Chain A
């Protein structure tokens, strides 16, 4: 099914033709994610009387809309990127204020049926379909114990209001919730990291504009992102950490992984790899902001896109 055009847009035949031509890209992308989705284009003017095209996507799960300048249609890569954003928003609408919580399980050997019992029990939680439940797990088969699975770093991620019933389900099924503190919560660690970042500012290294920790649930490694205008710009969207022993640098941690990146590369990385743990953690407010020490306010202002699903 082609996209629909509003009457004002149909009246502008040249622009309408250009919009229709975009169906070649838009509709396959849309149907890949939702067979029932529909697309509607509208035309309006901004306060400087310039044309603004609005694309609305709807399906039975929700809807999402965004504006395009007509010239944006000619950049195929940009257009694809915007449509992906929009599809993401349609499937999983932005819910400001809804935080995600990870309920972590202690590592364990679990009988096959115990794991199945947990899956069933999670499915019985009221309205669990709205929890956006996501399993993070490493379940391994161990030949020496053929009736068991080895669970390591197993976590169940849900919207905050479902965390409590999920915890109950975990305990009822005989698993133990992991309660040991995250590294960042341990005494003196945040201060040591602040010192490390401050040292980089002072001793001629790329001066960080922003510094934050993510993957906070990692009990061994500190993941430290430093965004610096003095870092080389790669333009490839890679987000690679370089790891070091944390001995003598920060307490309690086994290693520290530094992700040094230019601000433009961070934006590129978000476009090409938005499922990276960093962006999940930013979206879910699951980061520790070190520089500036303002709970992430300046970072969110500088990178508003990164909070989008």
Chain B
């Protein structure tokens, strides 16, 4: 499949990714809300929006370079080289990953951690799908109740995903990635990311509210 005006689509993806980044930053704050007596945070929003931001920015980056890249497929480009894409897109992402590793080896690791929190169905072997499944197989994620190993119980992400443990870490991973893309080629794609970072407060100080 070839996309017409693929660069326009890439820019639109980038811009939506930046909007997701703003949503993540706006959610990175302490709140005093309770759900049936239990405190909740917006940390799960920070993590999910950070992950979605990285996904859109990466897809935009790849789409800018090739109009045969299909951004509608896959959600975790750094973890899986996006199934169903043409093989020629894998080297482009491999080169990006290798380049990121050249200066900051933790960056790709953190992006993969971020992707690991995207919701996904539990892995169950085909021959065992008819059996009753234990709740423990539902992995930690930002959208659906999951099994918390620490609490040994099922938790909702609004209660289990923590602001300092997860939110700050996720937002830092996103911010570092944005900084790299903002300094990278092609300038038509990256320069406005750099401008975005100059104009929006991106601190991870959770008591500061960005204006």
Interface residues of A in 68-82 (CB under 8 A from B): none
Pair A243/B95 contact, Cβ less than 8 Å: no
Specify which chain A residues have a CB less than 8 angstroms from the CB of B99 in the assembled complex: 242, 258, 260
Specify which chain A residues have a CB less than 8 angstroms from the CB of B190 in the assembled complex: 243
CA distance A236 to B66 in the complex (A): 10
Specify which chain B residues have a CB less than 8 angstroms from the CB of A138 in the assembled complex: none
Pair A260/B183 contact, Cβ less than 8 Å: no
What is the total number of residues of chain B having a CB less than 8 Å from a CB of chain A?
Answer: 25
Pair A232/B186 contact, Cβ less than 8 Å: no
Binds A, one of B15-23, B101-109, B123-131: B101-109
Q: Determine the residue in chain A with the shortest Cβ distance to B194.
A: A243
Tally A-B pairs: CB < 8 A.
Answer: 67
- Is residue A15 within 8 Å, beta carbon to beta carbon, of the partner chain? no
- Is residue B92 within 8 Å, beta carbon to beta carbon, of the partner chain? yes
Pair B95/A256 contact, Cβ less than 8 Å: no
- Given A233-B91, A238-B65, A240-B185, verify A206-B180 contact (CB < 8 Å): no
What is the total number of residues of chain A having a CB less than 8 Å from a CB of chain B?
Answer: 28
- Given A205-B98, A232-B94, A260-B95, verify A249-B183 contact (CB < 8 Å): no
- Is residue B100 within 8 Å, beta carbon to beta carbon, of the partner chain? yes
Q: Determine the residue in chain A with the shortest Cβ distance to B92.
A: A234
CA distance A203 to B104 in the complex (A): 12
Pair A200/B180 contact, Cβ less than 8 Å: no
- Is residue A137 within 8 Å, beta carbon to beta carbon, of the partner chain? no
- Given A232-B95, A240-B185, A257-B184, verify A245-B102 contact (CB < 8 Å): no
Residues of B participating in the A interface, judged by any CB pair closer than 8 Å: 65-66, 88, 90-92, 94-96, 98-105, 179-180, 182-186, 190
Q: List 18 additional contacts besides A244-B180, A260-B102, A261-B95; criterion CB under 8 Å.
A: A196-B103, A205-B102, A206-B98, A232-B94, A234-B92, A235-B88, A236-B66, A240-B184, A240-B186, A242-B184, A242-B185, A244-B183, A245-B179, A255-B183, A256-B103, A258-B103, A260-B98, A260-B99
